[in-house]
Chain A
Amino acid sequence: MSLPFPFGFPAATQLYLVLLVATLLVHMIFMHYVLAGTAYLACGRLFGRQRAADCGWQQRLADWLPFATGLAITAGVAPLLFLQILYQREFYTANLLLSHRWMAILPVLLVCFYLLYLQKSSWISRRAWGWRVVVTWLAFAGFGFIAWSWTENHLLSLDQQAWAALYAAGELRYATAGLLPRLAAWFLLAFPTLAIELFWQGWLVGEPLDRPAAESSRVLGLAPVQRLAVMGLAGLLGGTVALIAYAITLPVETRAAVTGPLGGWWLLALGLGFCLQAAVWGLALRAGRLGRPLAGLLTAGWLLGLAGLLAVREVIRLEAVDLEALLPQHERAAGIGGLPVFLIFATLSVAAISWSVAAVRRGLVSG
């Protein structure tokens, strides 16, 4: 393939690839908030009630995590749909091979969801602090399990050679060299996203993050923005190491596709995005504050990095599957009507969502 992803594929395949990557990006926005957010909260809870009260980020996370989970689930449905058009056989087979183990993510998700409501309930606020520690750690473990399962399922879907033997063995677990580094990459790269999201959440409620921080808002000597910067930088650094470790486990031809014309530009975007984020967080760490223009640049870097990451992820998959065998299904799906109806209603829904948010803002001001 001499053109960058997704060009060079048949039009139908291109359409669904773009939709998959775009909707998966939205899923990642919320999933990162949930995964890194519960981890941050779980660790923060270890430092006791007073620290938790001092740390505005912990309070915000405790408050918003249930909603973010709802959004992560809802946003997961769209890529799930396009995934089934693009790689139906691969995705279904991996699901079936992992069977009960895979299905376990659903009750775990349910329990985690309720644990997040529980950790912000008045019931728990009347209990000993240890309860919160346990509840948040359980939720974090649950989301960690779900992330592990998605990665395991994804990698198994790409390893066609392993399917029959795994089925015969009746093992509901798939272990491969790439699993841990890949999972580590997703987990660690969730923190830079969370850091940016928390920054904008703070900005939306009028926190003075572009000014030197008040002494009372410091935790461990770090201003709120500095804590975000540490989180972002650590995530980027750790995530990059994990990505390199994962790349080492890939077959040579796959690595060639990632660095070649198909994935090369996206790899560049990923690198650029990471560097941009690291630079802005570095400045914020030194200054102890972050203004809107720099935050805009940071967000652009994050978007570039995540888009690059997801495109490279797809390039790796396209190298592993028998694409020729899948193309007729893409072609057939694209020939089925309904796209205009979707576009019309999706536009109306987005308009209605925007209107609702604006109406609530107005209502809160007037109320």
Chain B
Amino acid sequence: MTPLIPYPVVDLGPLMKGLVIGGLGIFHVFIAQFAIGGGMLLAYLQWLDMRGQCVHGRRFIDGYFRVLVLISFVVGAVTGVAMWFTSIQISPQTIGVMVGEFHWVWATEWSFFCLEVVAGYLFYRYGSRLPDRTRLSLLVLYAFAAWMSLFWINGILTWQLTPGAWLESRYVWDGFFNPGFWPSLIFRTITSAATASLAACVLINAVPAFSREEKAKLIGVCARPLIFMLAMPLLGVWYFATMPADSRGWATGGSVPMTMFLTMAVGCSLLVGLYAVVAILRQRLFINGATSTLLLALAFVATAGGEFVREGVRKPFTVRQYLYSNAIPPDAVADLRRRGCTTDDPYPLRDAEAYPTPQLKLGAKAFRVQCSVCHTLEGVNAVPELAAHWSIDQKRLNIAQLQRTKPFMPPFAGTPEELEAIVQLVTWVEAGRPPQWQPSNDPAVRQQIARWLDEAGTGPGYELAAAAAAELAAAGSPLR
């Protein structure tokens, strides 16, 4: 069984932890895309410039690179480290497993970071004084190193949703080259190229020294990589095909927010793609500063939507079939139902005196371990609000059969006592945290909870649904 290490749980108050890591992730991914695509675009421009096919290319490359360094070398580098540190704050077990399984992959990625930083800085510092060939070599090296960092991290991120053969073999390369690897890599490469092109359009418009005609010409060249966006629908379909059916289901109607975010991502990409084809590539319209900024903002929204969906569809896991969203491994659930999820937790409550009974204290501890990664008590996605209209028995049933209540939640992994304590806690908060609270210790209630827990089993919701569907099919009747 996977060992469970009890960690102190961070309290982010009313903030949902997923939103914190998601928000930072979106920001970091966008900057990283800019750096990766920027490298490729500048290498291309340099090559065109050397062939005399890009007027003002050299000047623009140096200016663009300056921005790239100031944004991506600084914000990109720091948000990269921040992603790591924030992951530790949100789910130390998850990042611990990822580091453990892929540390050599991460170390390999790091070696490319080093190359990216050195090649990039050499160009930034000396580029304007170097001959063309050296400039091109540095830009190619920079672009290659930046893209390789995408290559390596992409394997780890896609493994989380589609670990594929790794689940059986535990072989690192089975996990790395998982089913989602290639569509995601190509998709992200194109997204990076598109982001850099749109950023270039913004920058070109920001250079007062260029005439309108010069701007139009440069924009025409920089926009060329946008043509690859035409492949995005196909890649999207390919990526979706590699997803587990239940995850696909969330994004295609099963979960309203995820479907909306997917629609947002697709819609914004479509708008950018259409505008790119009609206005920029066919040069029907001049794209000014405002329009290019708007297009870049749309690309950001598309990235945000896509990242939200990517994070969301993993539920109820952080690593598919290996670690539930609350960092409890599936093979530990049965044991925790016997021993309790708070038994080995050495950390006391910070606000113990706020809870009038030991049962509520137990509830607060169990909530912290089981629910707090996605829920709060009085903030975003607060359980007392979500369950406000449930009867007390409904709360017991719905929490005992969490994976049936909403299949993107993991099964409950604690004792009936802990479950009842959470029910009492939620009801107490709903009641406005009164100073007196009657504990519930009816053995019949606990027995009923235990029966419900057994009934639901310890597997994820989609397995229950599949089993039920198979049973119905075998019985030949939709009404049972």
Contacts and interface: CB of A to CB of B under 8 A. Distances in A.
How many chain B residues sit at the interface, stated as a range, is 35 or more
A339 interface: yes
A93 to B, nearest CB: 6
Given A73-B77, A81-B99, A93-B8, A346 B107 contact: yes
B84 A352 contact: no
Interface of A: 67, 70-71, 73-78, 80-82, 84-85, 88-89, 92-93, 95-97, 99, 102-103, 106, 109-110, 113-114, 117, 163-164, 167-170, 329, 332-333, 336-339, 341-342, 345-346, 348-350, 352-353, 356-357, 359-360, 362-364, 366-367
Interface of B: 5, 7-10, 70, 73-75, 77-78, 81-82, 84-86, 88-89, 92, 96, 99-108, 110-115, 117-119, 121-122, 125-126, 129-131, 134, 137-138, 141, 145, 171-173, 346-350, 352
A71 B347 CA distance: 38
Contacts of B141: 352, 356
A96 B8 contact: yes
The B interface, classified by DSSP as helix, strand, loop or mixed, is helix
Contact of A74 (B107, B113, B138): B113
B99 A84 contact: yes
Nearest to A345: B108
B91 to A, nearest CB: 10
A102 B82 CA distance: 11
B175 to A, nearest CB: 10
B42 to A, nearest CB: 15
A140 B73 CA distance: 20
A349 B119 CA distance: 11
A81 B106 contact: yes
Given A163-B8, A360-B122, A367-B129, A74 B104 contact: no
B151 to A, nearest CB: 11
30 contacts: A71-B117, A75-B114, A76-B81, A81-B99, A81-B106, A81-B110, A88-B96, A95-B85, A95-B89, A96-B88, A99-B10, A102-B85, A106-B81, A164-B346, A167-B8, A336-B101, A336-B103, A338-B105, A338-B107, A338-B172, A338-B173, A341-B104, A342-B104, A342-B107, A352-B115, A356-B119, A356-B122, A363-B130, A363-B131, A366-B131
Contacts of B70: 117
Nearest to A361: B126
A357 B122 contact: yes
A164 B347 contact: yes
Contact of A360 (B96, B130, B348): B130
Nearest to B345: A164
B348 A337 contact: no
A351 to B, nearest CB: 10
A74 B137 CA distance: 22
Contacts of A341: 104-105, 108
A73 B78 contact: yes
B30 to A, nearest CB: 16
B7 A92 contact: yes
A103 B92 CA distance: 14
Contacts of A93: 7-8
B178 to A, nearest CB: 15
B350 A167 contact: yes
Contacts of A362: 134
Contact of B110 (A77, A348, A353, A363): A77
A74 B117 contact: yes
